[in-house]
Structure formats: C-alpha cells, structure tokens
Amino acid sequence: MDHFLYQNGVLHAEEVAIPEIAASVGTPFYVYSTATLTRHYQLFDDALDGMDHLVCYAMKANSNQAVLRLMASLGAGVDVVSGGEYRRARAAGFSGDRIVFSGVGKTVEEMELALTGGIRQFNIESEPEMVALSEVASRLGVSVPITVRVKPDVDAKTHEKIATGKSENKFGIPIAKARDVYRQAATLPGLEVIGIDVHIGSQLTELEPFETAYLKVAELTEELRSDGHDIRRLDLGGGLGIPYERSNEAPPLPTDYGEVVRRTVGHLGCEIEIEPGRLIAGNAGLLVASTIYVKEGEGRDFLILDAAMNDLIRPAMYSAFHDIFPVIEPDAGAEYAPIDIVGPVCETGDTFTRQRPMPPVEAGDLIAFRSAGAYGAVMSSEYNSRPLIPEVLVHGDQFDVIRARPTYEDMINRDSIPAWLEGLD
C-alpha cells in the first residue's frame, strides 16, 4: 500500500495534489511520501519483532539527505557502499555504530574514513580486502568488527544484472571456502570476527531463494562456532521485491519474510541485521512528467514526455516495468489504446515502454510513474545536458523541495576551460 491515490479525480501524494507540486517546481520531478517510507520501515521492524535486530536501510536505493534523516529518526541503521554514502549517512545523523559498510571495492581511504568516524561493522567481500582492512586497523590501533559475505550459490530468480548470490557473481566469497577464510581472519590483527553476511540479489519475488540461502548460513554458523569463532551477528542482506506491475501477483510481504528469518536462523541466538532498500523507498516515490507531444507514427503512436532515461534509467537498463498513468483520473468510460512512451533523449533506448494501453492524453497533461522512489533519482545523470530533476518530500498536507533543480549555469559552470584554450575564440 502507498499514499498516492486519486482524490476527486486528481492524483495526490498524501494530502497534496500533484498538480500543485508541478506548478511550484516544474516538471519532471520526483516526489516521495513520508507516510509510505515510514510504513515500509515499520513493516520490516515489526516483522523481526521479538528478535534482537536492526533494520539497516540500504541507502543506495535513495540517498537523499531528507530520506536518510527520516530513517535515522525512526531508529534505522544504514548500509553504505562507498565513502560518499558513509559521509551522507553521518551528515544525516546516523552514528557510526549504526552504519554497516558493504561493497567489493572498499579503498584504504574509505576504510580510514569509517575507522576514524565510527562503524558498526565491515562486511568483507574478499581475502585481499580482509588483509587490507587488517593493515589499516592495525596502523590506526583499532579493532574492527567484521562479517564475511558468503555466496551461497543460490539462484535469486531475478534480473541477471541484480543477482548477486551465484558463484559467478563478483560479490563475497564462495560459501565452500568460508571456513578457511574465517580461519585466516581470526589470525589477522585489528579484525574482530563477529558474524556472517549474505545478500543474494535484488527484486526477489519469491521467498524460497532467501530460505535456501539462510539455511546455508545457519549451517555455516554452527560450523564456524565449532571452529571456535564467536558468531553472534547475521547480516541477511536486502532484496525483497516490490509489485511494479499491479496486475501481477504481489511479492511476499515483510511479515512473511520475517517468518523465513525466524524459521531459518531464529534458533541461533544471533543479532539479526537486514538491509532492505527497494521495498522501503520504491513504492514511496513517483516520477512526474509532462507530455510534450503526442506523435502519430506509422502503425504506432508515441507519447513524448519531458522525463527521459537520464532521469529514470531502470526501463533502459533492466527492461524494468513501471506503472504509468495520468495525474488527472481518466473518465470511467475512457478508451485505452496502445502507445509507446518515450523521452526526448537522442537514443532509441530512451523508451519507457512500448505499446502500453493508455487513456487519451494530450500535450501538457501530467503523467506519473509509480514505484520510482528507489533506484530512480540516485541513478540519474545529466546526459543530453538535462539538469538533474528536483526531489520533493510530502508530509501530510505539506511538501518541501529536498533537492532543488540545478540552474543551467550550475550545470555548465561545473566544467572549466583550461587556460590554453581560453584565447582560442
């Protein structure tokens, strides 16, 4: 459930009419709902009720400072994958002991940043990284809690670009090698082995891959304990999917996911961490665009919007589906006809969908994309010199711009011309 509904024929975000935001900030823009973000966090927190746990929001899904501040205020932890994300987390108010550091390519600089600023744990993804972290921690005279990310070789049954738990993926170490790697970890100075990490992919629409992976983690926990390691924290990753297509069967709910966690690892007495990103932010956001032209082609028509692949790349990158619909509710008897919905960028890839049944739309009409709150604004670029679009946060009957649209001068002045080129005009 989200908080984007028609009220008197006009799409609202909570109590705010979308056309009101459009008139104020211009299109295209992203809009997020505080109530939906809060509810989604709460669903996960409740799902693990009774177990010692921390929900660590995977901020790569949506790392706006306001969204992060909201998560921090709710009591969430946060999963970061870069020094930039670490800095964003601290700036939004997360204390170091609520920040988990993941990612395959952590640099020495990033390690120093987190070790001096405070960190809950590092999730180690390779042996060379483990050695590097040991060296940095020793040099700084600290001991850092670590888990090792294992690849359970489970098929997450999701898009190949977001599957991470198979042996051919770049993440983590093969689970079969885990005991050796933990043995090595225990000998390295500056590292305190506290647990196991696993994250098998994103947009999972079934519970079975989680169940298989977590059972393997439970087995490994027992093995590592018998090897003498004090395994007391399990980071189970994120990845629970969201319903992008409303007509399709809905993916499992956080409560069902919580049951899987309880059933597979609940008996081990470990503190549980989970790292949801998409499920918290995805359906808490819309992308809103205006129609520039309706173009009649040979055999097919095109709805040309002012939003493009640089603003929302998911359809071009993962063939992702987004529900796309008019901000003004169509008449009950409106006739739907198939149309291609595209942006103005000069690439055929700049196509949001083909032959989508849509009610009649005219130039100037506002169009909304559902499920755009995660992996939307964070993946945007200024390709075709289209300035980044604003982000707006709604809270009840008020809305605030939480990232302003840069001016064209801002965009152009980010570049600089070398002195030797200056006089060449």
Ligand X SMILES: *Cc1c(COP(=O)(O)O)cnc(C)c1O
Catalytic one among 247, 249, 297, 346?
A: 346
Binders of ligand X among residues 94 to 153 (CB under 6 A) are 102
Smallest gap from Cβ 158 to ligand X, in A, equals 9
Smallest gap from Cβ 229 to ligand X, in A, equals 21
Using a 10 angstrom Cβ sphere, with 0-12 exposed, 13-18 middle and 19 or more buried, the burial of residue 115 is buried
Nearer to ligand X, 278 or 395 (CB): 278
Residue 50 token pair: 């009774």
CA angle 323, 326, 330 (to 5 degrees): 115
Q: What is the length of the chain?
A: 425
Spatial strand order of the sheet with 16-17 comes to 4-7, 10-13, 16-17
Stretch that binds ligand X, among 104-112, 231-239, 249-257, 323-331 (CB under 6 A): 231-239
Question: What are the residue ranges of helices labelled H in 276-393?
Answer: 278-281, 314-318
Stretch that binds ligand X, among 1-9, 265-273, 275-283, 288-296 (CB under 6 A): 275-283
User: Does 275 engage in binding with ligand X (CB under 6 A)?
Assistant: yes
Q: How many helices (H) and strands (E) does the chain have?
A: 13, 21
Stretch that binds ligand X, among 58-66, 138-146, 264-272, 334-342 (CB under 6 A): 58-66
Closest CA to 3 of 15, 14, 19, 11: 14
Binding mask 337-366 for ligand X (x = CB under 6 A): ------------------------------
Stretch that binds ligand X, among 277-285, 304-312, 351-359, 383-391 (CB under 6 A): 277-285
Cβ pair 353, 341 in contact under 8 A: yes
Nearer to ligand X, 62 or 353 (CB): 62
Binding mask 64-93 for ligand X (x = CB under 6 A): ---------------x--------------
Nearer to ligand X, 80 or 327 (CB): 80
Q: List the one residue from 106, 278, 322, 395 that touches ligand X (CB under 6 A).
A: 278
Nearer to ligand X, 239 or 266 (CB): 239
CA distances from 87 to 60, 397, 421 (A): 13, 31, 36
Cβ pair 309, 316 in contact under 8 A: yes
Instruction: Count the residues of the shown chain that bind ligand X, applying the rule CB under 6 A.
Output: 16
Closest CA to 80 of 63, 96, 64, 58: 58
CA–CA gap between residue 109 and residue 425 (Å, rounded): 42
Q: List the one residue from 12, 60, 120, 216 that touches ligand X (CB under 6 A).
A: 60
Q: Is 270 considered catalytic here?
A: no
Nearer to ligand X, 129 or 275 (CB): 275
Nearer to ligand X, 200 or 358 (CB): 200
Residue 157 token pair: 């049954």
Smallest gap from Cβ 82 to ligand X, in A, equals 11
CA angle 265, 183, 234 (to 5 degrees): 20
Nearer to ligand X, 199 or 229 (CB): 199
Smallest gap from Cβ 375 to ligand X, in A, equals 7
CA atoms within a 13 Å half-sphere pointing along the CA-CB vector of 108 = 9
Q: Give the sign of the dihedral formed by CA 83, CA 101, CA 316, CA 18.
A: negative
Smallest gap from Cβ 274 to ligand X, in A, equals 8
Binders of ligand X among residues 169 to 208 (CB under 6 A) are 199, 202-203
CA–CA gap between residue 377 and residue 381 (Å, rounded): 9
- Supply the residues annotated as catalytic: 346
Q: Which residues bind ligand X (CB under 6 A)?
A: 58, 60-61, 79, 102, 199, 202-203, 237-239, 275-279
